[in-house]
Amino acid sequence: MADQMIEVKEIKLTAKDFATDQDVRWCPGCGDYSILAQVQRSFPDLVGIKKENIVWISGIGCSSRFPYYMNTYGFHSIHGRAPAIATGVKVSRPDLSVWVAAGDGDLLSIGGNHFIHACRKNIDLKVLLFNNRIYGLTKGQYSPTSEKGKITKTSPYGSVDYPFNPVALALGSNATFVARSLDRDTKHLHEMIKRAADHKGLAFVEIFQNCSIFNDGAFDILTDKKTKDDNVLVLEHGKPMLFGANKDKGIIMDGAKPKVVEIGEGKHRVEDVLVHDENDESPMLATLLAHLTDDPAMPTPIGVFRQISKSTYDGDVEEQIASVKNKKGEGDLEKVLFTGSTWEVN
Amino acid sequence: MPKEKEVQNLSEVTVRFAGDSGDGMQLTGSQFSDTTALMGNDLSTLPDYPAEIRAPIGTVYGVSGFQLHFSSNDIHTPGDRPDILVAMNPAAIKKNISELKPGAMIIANTDSFDRKNLQLAKYETNPLEDNSLEGYEVYPVPIGSLTAKALQGTKLSPKEIARCKNFFALGLMYWLFDRPVDQTMNWIQKKFAKKPEFIEANTNALTAGYNYGENTELFNTRYNVEPAKLPKGIYRSISGNEATALGFLAASVKSKLPLFLGSYPITPASEILQYLSNYKNFGVKTLQAEDEIAGITSAIGAAFAGNLAITTTSGPGLALKTEAIGLALMTELPLVIVDVQRGGPSTGLPTKTEQADLLQAVYGRNGEAPVAVLAASTPSDCFNMAIEASRLAIKYMTPVILLTDGYLANGSEPWKIPHVNELPDIPVKFRTEKEGFAPYLRDGNLSRPWVKPGTPGLEHRIGGLEKANTTGTVSYDPDNHDLMINLRAQKVKNMVNDIPDLTVDGDMEGDLLVLGWGGTFGAIKEAVIKVREAGYNVSQAHLRYINPLPKNAEYVLKGFKNVLIPEINLGQLSKIIRSEFLIPVKQLNIVRGLPFRVSDIENKIIAILGGKE
């Protein structure tokens, strides 16, 4: 057969190659469209990952329909369990690139336990959180990321729940890559998806996603031309934390507290401003940045909060197997069965 | 010189070791069992311990027991009532006295019969002295102080010395039943390889116990139990949990699929996870998950990725896995779920045995969710059924539940070890051809193709939403849903052509068939043997496949005037049999967290055959 082999050149895939024949059934104006588009656009650029080696796993919720729209291997599972299913896929098949698409209810409420443990174990998963701060598929109940006081169908007098800060939760669970982006900032989102793909270990990306039906405009302040510059702090490694249309605002430390100051003559100097260090071994800076979001007087950071290098669970499992095989030799069932205290009956 | 002791031949003996949960009774019992197995006796064991790891010392509820029935004949149960009780403290007598055979021998550690321990056991007076044990043969042995004496001069602390007394008791029992101490000596050497002082102390305690029997005037008789006439072969003693683990290891080897176990520790199933975590050199991956749900869902992920995927649990864990079992069924992935049943409901009796998860296994899911259900009948049968469950799951691309129970899991028996080449291969076919591929195509068994992610050109999506047959796209079509519901059910029904017929021990028709399932096999078998010896004609059949039921099950059952179903639940198989075959059945249901006593089944059979029921 060798003579019949044809030299096949690697053909560069395009976004279209990652689209399926299924009609996308999200509501008009849903932020999920933008996320899907950016994923499909960035995937052809992923280095060293073949399309057939990509697996998308989801749970339940609007965003969990995601795998149906990606022409890769996909598994639309049950509510909250995507990280656990993805764990099984990745640990049993470390050669696969395993992605999780999850909403805020799916990942942080019913699936919270799986999420924190996947982070803790540093399983090499890419987890995209589509955070719209509402339950969409069940038609508008408050979620674990809804702000306190939010009026929804199940909180007509205002929600009394305190919300989770997903970035802080991921950092607290020792995720090795933690980032945030916006559905409407397509360039930034594209970049974050690629950064997550390149990370070896659990990569978590919180994406603020607009639900046009039940929580429309939740992130307008971060996406509207008029307000975004004053409210979004774009984190860049090694760069001072400046924001504002003219980059005339910055974050400085006032004792142990971050503070917004104005930069310019007679004001603060750029040199005074905090410089971002994604790779800091200590989670202190990243955690501090994560909590800026909790304070309405502070800008909301987007970008990579933290990226550290640590061995992965799935990699360590492989290594352990190799080392035991090396020590004991390949398993021999006959030997195992007949090992121990045996006796013969004649 | 001590006088020559008389040797009495016995055909079978039931011994129970009992003491505080920290007294090492499980160890003593299993050592005695291993040596007895090496001596060639048939045997069956029943560990019976409290859920508390170190329950308050001296209390009745803190008593841990290990029962062993061994014989020169073929036996099937750990014995109804012990002939001998080794009681390390008063509570051990209090707890066990009512279960002993009349005239049973009691070897009591007199050192622990002080005021405090008597009070803790709620004895007003010392039972060894107040004649309350009249009718039993009581042997008072100061086990504690004799151990201390034997270990004089060691570096061990008094507390550590006290912990060696179980080896003294074991040595004495070895002497009494004329068994060699070598096996245990070797075990001690290995176990304490890094602590030579413990090797010396435990060895000395064991020897001292043995020599005490030889030299004391207290015992005049030794007992001899000849080896049993078992079929030729090489044997080992095996517990149900170990057999289950080895069965899956074998299924992995015979299917050439890597084994993935996702599990969360739960009594009495944790040992399967523990055993399998040893076999890294087979490429076995064991994932100790964050919870029961992650245990099964990680296994589902592994099944999707092309592994022999299993999850192990006990009743409460099976309840938590329920939704995910439905997902495995809906996505038509092979998965084996092991439920080592324990006393329920809720937390129930974690360390005790029960058969009350049968209906949960067969029916306990939302929607029409038929799942194949298999049940192992003896500790060593767990090996066979683990392989069977794997084979059926793979062939029919559907989840299979394997039921064992606490008694099977912890109990042990001699196992004639099969050679690997005697075990059947498990064929596996992964689809790689692109041409004509669709994720829900059907083969002759109605199974859909299994595709490993990573296969170029076969990228597809599965999920818990209803799928269109063949194409696998999400479908809300009413007729398609009806079709898929029936297809999934038919796959399980098709297994009927792939499982053995129900065999009958005894006549194929008659007045009474005793029908059992799962871990009650031994007790029913022994009861049937006994009533036959008493002149009755009774047949026995035992179900290892419950969903689907064997093809000939209805025919077999209809051959008898009466069908008796003994179960350690309130009649769950009885319900299934009645509803499947519309035949009346008689029930025997005793739910004490313990295996059936043979006599309970015997009495019921005789009552039915005597026309009293």
DSSP A142-192: --TTSPTT--BTTBTT---PPPP-HHHHHHHTT-SEEEEEETT-HHHHHHH
User: For chain B, how many structural domains are there in total?
Assistant: 3
Taking CA atoms, what residue in A is nearest to B186? A341
Of B58 and A3, the one with more pLDDT: B58
Interface test with A, best of B280, B366, B425 (most A CBs within 10 A): B280
| Nearest to B89, CA basis, from B27, B150, B143 | B143
Nearest residue, CB atoms, A93 vs list B249, B305, B327: B305
Q: Are B418 and A345 within 8 A, CB to CB? A: no
CA of residue B377 relative to chain centroid, distance: 9
Residue B75 lies in a domain: yes
pLDDT at A1: 44
The answer to whether residues B101 and B63 belong to one domain is: yes
Taking CA atoms, what residue in A is nearest to B419? A334
Show residues of chain B in contact with A89, CB under 8 Å. Answer: 301-302, 304-305, 453
User: For chain A, percent helix, then strand, then coil, each to nearest 5?
Assistant: 35, 20, 40
Let me know: does B263 contact B287? Beta carbons within 8 Å. yes
Residue B470 lies in a domain: no
Q: Are A333 and B420 within 8 A, CB to CB? A: yes
Residue B433 lies in a domain: no
CATH number of residue B142's parent domain:
3.40.920.10
The answer to whether residues B200 and B123 belong to one domain is: yes
Extract the runs of DSSP E, i.e. beta strands, from chain A.
54-58, 73-76, 97-103, 125-131, 177-182, 203-208, 232-234, 242-243, 249-254, 257-262, 300-307, 342-345
Q: Are B291 and A75 within 8 A, CB to CB? A: no
Taking CA atoms, what residue in B is nearest to A96? B454
The answer to whether residues B172 and B28 belong to one domain is: yes
The answer to whether residues B195 and B327 belong to one domain is: no
Query: Nearest-CA distance from B299 to chain A in Å?
Result: 6
Taking CA atoms, what residue in A is nearest to B249? A333
Q: Are A85 and B300 within 8 A, CB to CB? A: yes
Give backbone dihedrals phi and psi of B70, rounded to 5 degrees, phi first: -135, 155
Q: Give A172-202 pLDDT, tens digit per residue.
A: 999 999 999 999 999 999 999 999 999 999 9
The answer to whether residues B171 and B260 belong to one domain is: no
* Domain carrying residue B588: 504-609
Nearest residue, CB atoms, A85 vs list B285, B297, B306: B297
Residue B30 lies in a domain: yes
The answer to whether residues B143 and B278 belong to one domain is: no
Query: Nearest-CA distance from B13 to chain A in Å?
Result: 21
Let me know: does B379 contact B411? Beta carbons within 8 Å. yes
Show residues of chain A in contact with B297, CB under 8 Å. Answer: 77-78, 81, 84-85, 88, 114
Domain-ending residue, one of B370, B395, B422: B422
pLDDT at B52: 81
Q: Are A343 and B234 within 8 A, CB to CB? A: yes
Residue B224's CB is within 10 A of a number of other CB atoms, namely 12
Mean pLDDT of chain A: 95
DSSP state string for B200-243: HHHHHHHHHHHHHHHH-SS--EEEEEPPP-PPSEEEEEEEHHHH
Nearest residue, CB atoms, B324 vs list A50, A81, A91: A81
Show residues of chain A in contact with B38, CB under 8 Å. Answer: 341, 343
Q: Are A344 and B234 within 8 A, CB to CB? A: yes
CATH number of residue B510's parent domain:
3.40.50.920
The answer to whether residues B545 and B589 belong to one domain is: yes
Nearest residue, CB atoms, B305 vs list A72, A96, A117: A96
Show residues of chain A in contact with B291, CB under 8 Å. Answer: 113
| Nearest to B327, CA basis, from A83, A242, A85 | A85
The answer to whether residues B354 and B253 belong to one domain is: yes
Measured between alpha carbons, how far is B519 from B522 in angstroms, rounded to an integer? 7
Q: Are A68 and B298 within 8 A, CB to CB? A: no
Q: Are A89 and B289 within 8 A, CB to CB? A: no
The mean per-residue pLDDT over the stretch A102-123 comes to: 98
Fold of A10-217+228-237+304-319: Rossmann fold (3.40.50)
Q: Are B250 and A91 within 8 A, CB to CB? A: no
Q: Which amino acid is at A119?
A: C
Show residues of chain A in contact with B72, CB under 8 Å. Answer: none
Query: Which range has the worst mean pLDDT, A2-6, A109-113, B402-406?
Result: A2-6
Give backbone dihedrals phi and psi of A229, rounded to 5 degrees, phi first: -60, -35
Q: Are B474 and A93 within 8 A, CB to CB? A: no
Query: Nearest-CA distance from A8 to chain B in Å?
Result: 14
The answer to whether residues B294 and B415 belong to one domain is: yes
Taking CA atoms, what residue in B is nearest to A66? B461
Query: Nearest-CA distance from A14 to chain B in Å?
Result: 16
Measured between alpha carbons, how far is B519 from B595 in angstroms, rounded to an integer? 8
pTM higher than 0.90, yes or no? yes
Q: Give A199-209 pLDDT, tens digit per residue.
A: 999 999 999 99
Q: Are B327 and A78 within 8 A, CB to CB? A: yes
Nearest residue, CB atoms, B246 vs list A89, A337, A343: A337
Taking CA atoms, what residue in B is nearest to A325? B281
Let me know: does B325 contact B333? Beta carbons within 8 Å. no
Let me know: does B123 contact B59? Beta carbons within 8 Å. no
Q: Are A88 and B301 within 8 A, CB to CB? A: yes
Please state, in angstroms and as integers, the Cα–Cα distance from residue B348 to each residue in B52, B62, B267, B545, following that order. 13, 17, 11, 26
- How big is chain B, counted in residues? 613
Query: Nearest-CA distance from A143 to chain B in Å?
Result: 22
DSSP state string for B62-114: TEEEEEEEEESS---SS-SS-SEEEESSHHHHHHHGGGSPTT-EEEEEGGG-S
The answer to whether residues B95 and B181 belong to one domain is: yes
Residue B46 lies in a domain: yes
Q: Are A73 and B461 within 8 A, CB to CB? A: yes
Domain-ending residue, one of B202, B225, B248: B225
Measured between alpha carbons, how far is B438 from B216 in angstroms, rounded to an integer? 79
Query: Nearest-CA distance from A295 to chain B in Å?
Result: 33
Measured between alpha carbons, how far is A179 from A189 in angstroms, rounded to an integer? 10
The answer to whether residues B253 and B216 belong to one domain is: no
Nearest residue, CB atoms, B459 vs list A52, A60, A340: A52
Q: Is the pLDDT of residue A6 over 70?
A: no
Residue B493 lies in a domain: no
CATH number of residue B292's parent domain:
3.40.50.970
Residue B402 lies in a domain: yes
The mean per-residue pLDDT over the stretch A315-324 comes to: 98
Q: Are B301 and A114 within 8 A, CB to CB? A: no
**Rounded mean pLDDT for each run of 10 residues along chain B, 613 residues in total:** 78 96 91 93 90 85 94 93 97 96 96 95 95 95 96 91 95 96 95 93 96 93 93 94 98 98 98 98 98 98 98 98 98 98 97 97 97 98 98 98 97 96 97 97 97 98 97 96 98 97 97 98 97 96 98 98 98 98 98 96 96 81
Query: Nearest-CA distance from A333 to chain B in Å?
Result: 7
pLDDT at A165: 98
Query: Nearest-CA distance from B205 to chain A in Å?
Result: 22
Residue B296 lies in a domain: yes
- Going from N- to C-terminal start, the domains of chain A cover 10-217+228-237+304-319
The answer to whether residues B319 and B192 belong to one domain is: no
Q: Is the pLDDT of residue A311 over 90?
A: yes
Nearest residue, CB atoms, A88 vs list B262, B463, B464: B262
HSE value, Cβ hemisphere, 13 Å, CA-based, for B271: 18
What ipTM did this prediction achieve?
A: 0.96
Query: Nearest-CA distance from B461 to chain A in Å?
Result: 4
Nearest residue, CB atoms, B454 vs list A53, A75, A344: A53
Domain-ending residue, one of B173, B200, B225: B225
Query: Nearest-CA distance from B501 to chain A in Å?
Result: 28
